[in-house]
Copies of this chain bind each other. A is one copy, B any other.
Amino acid sequence: MVRVSAIVVAAGSGTRFGTAKQFATLRGSRLVDIAVDAAHQSCDEVVVVLPADVEWDGAPVAASVRGGAERSDSVRAGLAAVAPDTEIVVVHDAARPLASSQVFDAVIGAVRDGADGAVPGVPVSDTIKRVDGDRVVETVDRASLVAVQTPQAFRADVLRRAHASGSDATDDAALVESVGGTVVVVPGEPANLKVTNERDLAIAESLLSEANRS
């Protein structure tokens, strides 16, 4: 029985690398393959969501589906392909290759413990200001702020209900919040960056080097 399903979102079409970022290579592996592998370690099945013109050629997965125009469309496409009786759905961005199995287990565990959703969060280390044009209007109190990452875990029924609301929010947790779901934050990992350009890829390389040294 499938209790935990992962949706690896790899449907973006940004091509700053000459290829979509999720197919860029880190240490000889494509980001999407790293993400699928990490999801397999903590979840019972993996569904990968791809751009319309890409065939899946990585490790065996439960399903590979085409994404949509918006990220929320892609998550909905993935949701339609997970096992119907799955209990927990984990949504993970293929562009976050450094998420550990510990963080997968932490978000899944928090949902098992009763939350409708769980997201990894790290403290906001920068000073944050709210601006109007180029004028600062407020220095935001960051003590109660977290920057959130993926993987994010949700009760399957709540995530389905949230996505059925038709919103195109890019953040699944925000959708779950919007239908009244309880979302908790578990400790995220500072190294779990989102790779969006060559600079981030170089940073990911150096983080991996450091991790291997320690």
Given contacts A148-B126, A148-B127, contact A202 B198 (CB under 8 A): no
CA gap between A201 and B130 in the complex, in Å: 29
Main secondary structure of the interface of A (DSSP, over half): mixed
CA gap between A195 and B132 in the complex, in Å: 29
Instruction: Enumerate chain B residues within 8 angstroms of A25, measured Cβ to Cβ.
Output: none
Pairwise interchain contact B185-A129, C-beta atoms closer than 8 A: yes
Residue A119 at the chain B interface, CB threshold 8 Å: yes
Pairwise interchain contact B173-A198, C-beta atoms closer than 8 A: no
Q: Which of A1-9, A36-44, A53-61, A176-184 contacts B (4 or more CB under 8 A)?
A: A176-184
Instruction: Enumerate chain B residues within 8 angstroms of A147, measured Cβ to Cβ.
Output: 126-128
Given contacts A135-B184, A205-B206, A206-B203, contact A119 B124 (CB under 8 A): no
Instruction: Enumerate chain B residues within 8 angstroms of A190, measured Cβ to Cβ.
Output: 199
A121-160 near B? 1/0 per residue, CB < 8 Å: 1001111111110111001100011111100000000000
Pairwise interchain contact B199-A210, C-beta atoms closer than 8 A: yes
Instruction: Enumerate chain B residues within 8 angstroms of A177, measured Cβ to Cβ.
Output: 136, 139
| A149 CB → nearest B CB, Å | 8
CA gap between A173 and B119 in the complex, in Å: 32
What 5 pairs between A and B have smallest CB-CB spacing?
A126-B147, A206-B206, A136-B183, A139-B174, A202-B206
| 10 new A-B contacts at CB < 8 Å, known A126-B149, A127-B173, A139-B173 | A121-B131, A126-B194, A127-B147, A128-B148, A129-B148, A131-B144, A139-B171, A191-B199, A202-B206, A202-B209
Q: Which residue numbers of A lie inside 8 Å of B, CB to CB?
A: 119, 121, 124-132, 134-136, 139-140, 144-149, 170-171, 173-174, 177, 182-186, 190-191, 194, 196, 198-199, 202-203, 205-207, 209-210
